[in-house]
Chains A and B, each alone.
Chain A
Amino acid sequence: MTGPRGLWIVKLVVGPLLGALLAARLGQVRAGAGRGRFGGWPVDLSGPEASALQLAPARAAANAAWALGSPDAVKESSKWELDQLAPTEVPRRVQLLLRFGIVDTNPDGQAAIFGQVCATDPSTCAHLKDATEGETRTRLVAPGNRLPPFFIAGHPHVPGM
């Protein structure tokens, strides 16, 4: 009796089970086959460009906000990128701080931000007005598309400028 019963177990339980497992694997492979067809994009984060690529969407958003966005959008998107920026990316950090300072309406806040620019990059600090003016030219909407009152004569300046 064991022989035929064993044979039946193999035929009706083990066999279909194996078939189901193989088919499940095939189903997984087929379902995953459509992925990763975009040749050239990163498959892992080991490359030297990885961190720059990760930051690129935030950079695009910050640039978009700077072109047309409200002061709040500029501040928020600049802060979002600044928070992720490597300490070595000084020029971009300075650029974002300048933008932040330009749209800040509070004179004390503006002074503090331009002070941060000076602390981050003394060479920009030496030409702060020119650097700020250059940045305002890339903004398409007010406020922020003109030199802020901070640079108008008589306005209190950043200590050490």
Chain B
Amino acid sequence: MKKAPVSALSHRRLSRWTAIVAVYGAAVVLGYLAGGSMLRSSSSAPPSPARTALARARVGWVLRQPDAPAPPAARADLQAEIAIAQQSWPPSLRGLFELVAAVQGLSTGGQPDWARAQSRCQALKWSQCDRAALEQLRARGRP
């Protein structure tokens, strides 16, 4: 039996190892991506009543902390809570919820979003939607 040359053997071994590493690498990358997307898809499912209640409580907590606005890193989390809480409201009151959120700066680190507040106020067809009125609303609208 004729022996294969050493260089051919090592070449075959190398390509075998390359294939194994590629299989492992692909498995790890796919697993990582699947794990992340599983969490995202589970969080896009309709929230349970307990989850909704928690979101409302969190939004309530933020509304009661005018001097402790959400740090930028937490704003995405807060935004998710606001969305859950808002969805649990009657459709006819969601515009009012948005107005309160804009005036109290829920999504903007406590800084009022006056332009949004004005447009929400006008959409509700309220008689006074100017900046001065909205500032009063901000002062009086805290829970």
Contacts and interface: CB of A to CB of B under 8 A. Distances in A.
Contact of A141 (B40, B68, B100, B128): B128
Contacts of B127: 68, 70, 141-142
Interface in A5-26: 11-12, 15-17, 19-26
Contacts of A26: 32, 35
A80 B85 CA distance: 14
Given A42-B57, A70-B124, A140-B133, A60 B35 contact: no
A8 to B, nearest CB: 10
A67 B139 CA distance: 10
Sorting the interface of chain A by its residue count into under 10, 10 to 19, 20 to 34 or 35 or more gives: 35 or more
Contacts of B8: none
Interface residues of B, number: 63
Given A20-B30, A28-B38, 20 more contacts: A19-B24, A23-B29, A24-B31, A27-B39, A34-B73, A37-B73, A37-B74, A42-B57, A53-B57, A53-B58, A56-B60, A64-B96, A64-B103, A65-B96, A67-B141, A68-B136, A69-B126, A73-B126, A76-B90, A77-B96
Contacts, number: 180
B31 A23 contact: yes
A161 interface: no
A127 to B, nearest CB: 23
Contact of B34 (A27, A37, A65): A27
